[in-house]
Structure 1
Amino acid sequence: MFADIRRLGLYVILALVGMGALPLAAQTPTAPPATPPSATGEPAPAGAPPARRTQWPSEKFAQQPDEAKKAEGKAEKSATPAQTKTEPSTNTPTADGTPAAAPAPTNGNGQATNGDARPAASSEKSSESEAPANTVAPTPTELPADITNGLNQAQGLESRIEALEKSVERVKGRDKELIDQLPVIEAVIADSQRLARELRPKLDDVRSQISRLGPAPDGKDIPPESATIAAQRSRLNAIAAAIDGAIKTAGLVEVRARQLSGRVQELRQDIFTRDLLRRSRSPLAPAFWEEIWRAVPSAKLQVQAITAGWWSNVLIQLPATIAVILGSFAFYAVLKLLMLRLLRGLSASQIADPGFYLKVSMAGAQAPLRAIPAIAGASALYFGLDFLGLLYLQVGYLAATILEGVIIYKVSTALARAYLRPNQPAWRVLEFDNQTARRLARLIKLIAAVYVIDLALRELIRLLYLPLPFSIVTTLTASLLLAVLFALVSRMRFPLSVDNDSSLARLRAELIRLPLLLAAVVIVVALVGGYIALARYVGNQVLMTGSAIILLLLFYLANRAIAAEPDQNPGAQAAAADPHGLSIDLRRRMAGITAVVLDSILVVVGIPVLLLSFGFSTADIGSLANRALFGFEIGGVQISLARIAIALGIFAVLLTLTRVLQRWLSETVLHPKRTDQGLSNSISTGVNYLGIGVASLAAISYAGLDITNIALVAGALSVGIGFGLQSIVNNFVSGLILLVERPIKVGDWIDVAGQGGYVRRISVRATEIETFDRASVILPNSELITGTVINYTHRNAMGRLTIPVGVNYGADPEHVISVLMDIAENSSLVAKHPAPFVAFENFGDNALEFSLRVYIIDVGKTLGTKTELRTQIVKRFAEEGIGFPFPQRDIHLRDLDGLKIVLAKLLQNRASAQQVKSDSEDEAPQT
């Protein structure tokens, strides 16, 4: 059970990221690039309802239940009066705010006019008097209904942008209302683009009809045309002019809306700078403390009144209240005991040196276990009192803030303890020594506590309408404490432990110390200068940005652990050894794909989270995402990420259909029993190239790229080939073939042109091969295409080894085969499937010749496997009494008598020498 909990721990990190990031991001100011607190957290002016900082976690305590709808309605009302001023009496606004369909006035030449009906009629009469006798001027009623609707929509867009311009000027000093205008402006931009996109095909259709009529008669070379054709020409010209005018109006509205959006951002930037650099009253002034002292009695009376009213409601429901409180604490105690039991079980692991995967999975499992009891208990208490109706008005606001603070504090401390592991260095994910891990965990707790207490005090000051000095004192104290804590963290040396060699989790101390130290200095300088808002802003930004970066870093570490799971998880390796389980190669491939998907999710989620931490509002992020997805210009080129993604999808779908067609042809029409194999391969390859070409052209066309530019590049390339670039182009094309067909790929072990090694890099001109002597061989791509290449890891990394073994002629062959098979089957480096095999090769001159043939999972471990198997063969043969033969040679001597004489002389000389030596030894003692 505990192993399953560790495995699921990786994915629980994602939930913790959301739990930790969203409440923190909710406190982030909303001005670009960030907005400071409103003048050091000033309370709302007297008489105004308290501005709700956030509606989380209960909608009950929102200032207005439908506040968002009312704000949206207010923005619509600001645009509606101008929209309804299009045409009196006939143009009644529709439900969506656009005027109803009405005839669009045009002049005799088909040009739309902006006047009322009477000037349009006079214009028609004048044009009729000037037109030839055979020309019939169209009336506005001849315009098709869809064209008339488009004209009315263009007029509505123009009215909406005028109303928005007036509304922005009216609220240019209020940041919140300026933020509310941004979605309305983006909607106008989207409607303008949609209208122009819908009208352009209609304009092309009308112009194609006009072109079919030919040039208009000029009275000289071209004879007059019939009255019917003249009437048709006039009508089509009028329709074309009307559509063109509507398209231009929509384009103009889009430009004005984008300019207005920039104007809103400039106004918000001015408000941000003004509030950020506003100096507050000095706490050293006596009048400052006198104002606080004067406000204390009234605040005390207000607190007493609120407490007395709340307590009276508690007494009315005293049994239920006591039951809720006791039930919440009992719920907390049960969860705490259960979590402690699970934590003890997880901590009792007998693994002495866990891998990176096990560390991250264990941390991901422990973090929620540490945070859930307190959060669940506090939530049960909150919602229980809320159900009894005891959380109302100021009490409800304060209780929601306290619950939010509990969640923030517990998530922060749980993540710190789970990943730093102050008391378990073997399971520590981040590679700090014991002293650093303990100090950093304590400092994170203190920072979270300061932030939560400041959060609750600010909410209390806002609810009680306390004067500005209270906010200044609270902000000054919290900012000063944060500066001290940041300085303490920056003074830590962050020594990295040397026991773990995992480089994925290493943090560079400079990336942590310098920003924190700089933030602490800026906070202190701002407080001394009286810029309290700036000090609070810097402190909050460090907390928000740091929290977002840490959470994203934990997500990244989880992704890397998932990618390393097949190699570091013992369970995965055991499952891979099972013949019915997934192979290790497949597990690695699946882990890689999963890591890529999770990294993509990390990028998609991480960018908005970082932007929120920097102070961007949701409207700003939505606008940026809309422009990034649906079009932005770089150097006059329109780029749309959405169109690019769809184009890639089209390419993938067509490529998949090509593969399906290839398989169908191979199994039916081009079956080896019916068609020559060479012809079958040629047709299949041709279908493949044709499918790739069609898919590429379709994707390029949908992405909006001009194919004529590709033709120009191809023409220039052909000219270059004619001037002597044949070899370069040959290598270039060969490189493309290598990258597409992938006969070799980076990391493969190959032999080519007498050179063997690993492929390190494949470029469009040459391929780099690293030999086993660590030398780099640069090989032109054309040699890899035209020459013979041996690739040991083309399909997979599995390979076969053959170890020749010779034994004495007196050995039992069956016994030898049994011993060799036993050695291979007990080796951890030998694959079980396909099974090892021993062959009796030959009767040699000096030995019985056998060969041990085994398969290994990684061909790169060939030498190590051979060494281990040969060592075991020597040991087992010695134990089993099987001997290794030695070479036998027969020597034939031609002059045997002469050899005897020589040997006799040698023996005689040796005997004489020994006699002389013994005589000299006997004489030595006498002298």
Structure 2
Amino acid sequence: MSWFPRLAALLLAAMFCCASLAQATPEPVEPTIAALRAELEKMPKTVESSDDVSALITQLNSITAATEKFIASRTSELNDLNARLGELGPVPAGGAAAETPDITGRRATLTKERNAVDADIRLARLVAVDARQRATDLLAKRRAIFEAQLTERAPTPLGREFWGDLADAWSGDIDRLQALGSELKASVDTATEPEHITAVIFSLIFAVLIALPGNWLAERTLTQLAARVLPSGRLRRSLLVIAIVATNVLLVFLAVRGVYTTFELHGVWGDQTRRLGDAMVQSSIFIAFVVGLGRALLSNGQPSWRLPPIPDAMAARLAPFPWLMALVAALVWLPTQVNAVVEASFAAVVAAHVVVALALTGMIGAMLLRLRAVQAAPQEATAAAAAPAEEAERPLWVGIVLGLVALILVVIWVLVAVGYVAMASFLALQLNWLCIVLAAFYVLFKFADDLFMAVVSSHSSFGQRLQASFGLASRTLDQTAVALSGLSRVALFFYMLIAIAQPLGTGPGEVLQRSGKFGSGVKVGEIELVPGAIFSAVAVLVAGFIALRILKNWLDSRFLPTTALEPGMQSSITTLLGYVGGITVIAFALSALGIGIERIAWVASALSVGIGFGLQAIVQNFISGLILLAERPVKVGDWVVLGNAEGDIRRINVRATEIQLGDRSTMIVPNSEFITKTVRNMTLSNAEGRVLIRLPMPLTTDASRARDVILAAFGQHPGVLSTPAPSVTLEGIEVGFLIFQAVAYVQSPRVAGSVRSDVLFSILDGLRDADLPMAAYPGIPSPPGAPAPPPTVAAPPPGILPGTTA
């Protein structure tokens, strides 16, 4: 490893040299408004291809950026001049004669400068507006070119016309290819000259060593380094995948860039071969990324490090596909780039589209067949063994996705057969690009989640250090980790959408512009219904509600359980989020449809009339439901008494609340009942229940013994809480009877009835065993063996019976 310090020293020296050169480079002179206007005026007014549009848009963006920079610098200068004029104050009432000539001259000079700067700013803003308008027109032009290319129909490859056109253009294409071949031969002759051949061969050998053995050695080194340095866990696997892919891309870039630079320095490239070389560098980097990503995700060498949950058999059968994808990418790249370099005929371009569509779809079709074979193998083995083994069922969404991909493949083949080869080629490229982007962002999603869970959560070593240093609670760290993971995934999701839409345009704004117009639309009153806007509104609704559902599930299963909120409050938060999120999604859908709030004022007026007549009860219940969720006088899980009904609250909906009664039936109560009527909440502030027993006993009863018997009955029951302790009080003497009141507490009011019954049985048995008689009713004989009550003892007072409970 002695070469590593030398290489590091060379890299550092190169960085310092680049920095010194950058410092020595003089700063560019700021262009004037006249120069920017002249540059804008000399741009061509017409374009013929998408490449011309891209070049002009890049130029317009640079003009706009320079103009904005000019406006920013002049605005600060204008503010400074206004401040200096403000220091001079306003012109006196008497005019110039009322102040000194120096102040008058200074004011005139500053006013002149201020007016000149203000004029420059106004001119610059006009240039910026013109540049933006021109860019908008160019985007519309490119959109039209793009749509025309996709919808252009060519001769079908199954007919004679296709092959006839290809034969007719063959001679011209051969001449163009011969010109390219002559340039390639000249480049080879230049490379084999004695003064160049040593450097060329050395660069080629160096590139091969870096791209093949270098990548293999780098992967093994990274794997061993990760096993030694990184702690075991999910982060190690996701970080290793990213490191392997980045290393593969970096090494391949160094290899191909080294060869390209060597050829450039030794004059090997010609005009056409240089364009091929540039395309080769970009394609090689892309192929290295795809191959590295596929091999890292499959991890056939070390299945325990595999990031996605792929069975070993499936991973083994998919192992050749990263290399097959590289081969297909090369086959797709070669005819396309050669046609672009030599400016081949239209027939050759159509043939290249056919090759691209068939090659890419053939590769995806072969992958689907491999996946089907892997899934059928375990079923055959189970049937042969005739063993009652349970197999993991494939998720439904996987089958739907595979079926959709197969349908797209059939559509592409049909498009090729009927002659829409440009659209077929575009769909095939977009399908492959979609698969690559999804695989790449799957790794990033996993890495983002693993990173925050392994660094911030209370289970990580760093999280434990934070907890010890700052006194943070474990729950706080877990909440922070889950929140950061969710935010990072949301950000990555939007970047994924931009990456998926990248082949459609230069950015998401252009993609939205392309999808914004599919027809002229129909105007109904003040509302214009455009087909493209309808599709956009439906897409916003579907995507919005799916995102809202995912967010609610994430809150329910991941974030809210890490908080100190009780389950009822968690349910209330999720319900409120559903209401607010649903209203927001609908508002965005209306905005995408072109219906603003001001355009639906008549709908609001009609609704107000309807509310005044027949919808007031519904609105009242809806508002009451929001009040219940916000103020929370009752919540999910409370035991409430409403009128003659009592039970547990199971759910608070937008209109009504569900209460489960004691007989397991459900009572639907409008929310307004909880707001306008008296509700008894048995568990609002205290979840404990109370057992109250009142016993009338004769005056001759030994009160102390009776109290001991009652307390012993309470103490023997496991459902009675020891804190607060049970108590027995003697309320007084009523109509010749001693009134004992016993109070005990249980864990929940729901079990108070059963505990009270059990305790009463125990009390009666205890009183009988202690020969303590209960008060008897007139005409009812006392129990056998019990002393007769005094003749002066009357019946129990009204409303108090032996064994009465509350």
Give the number of the structure with larger relative contact order, counting CA–CA contacts within 8 Å between residues 6 or more apart: 1
With normalisation by structure 1, the TM-score equals 0.43
With normalisation by structure 2, the TM-score equals 0.49
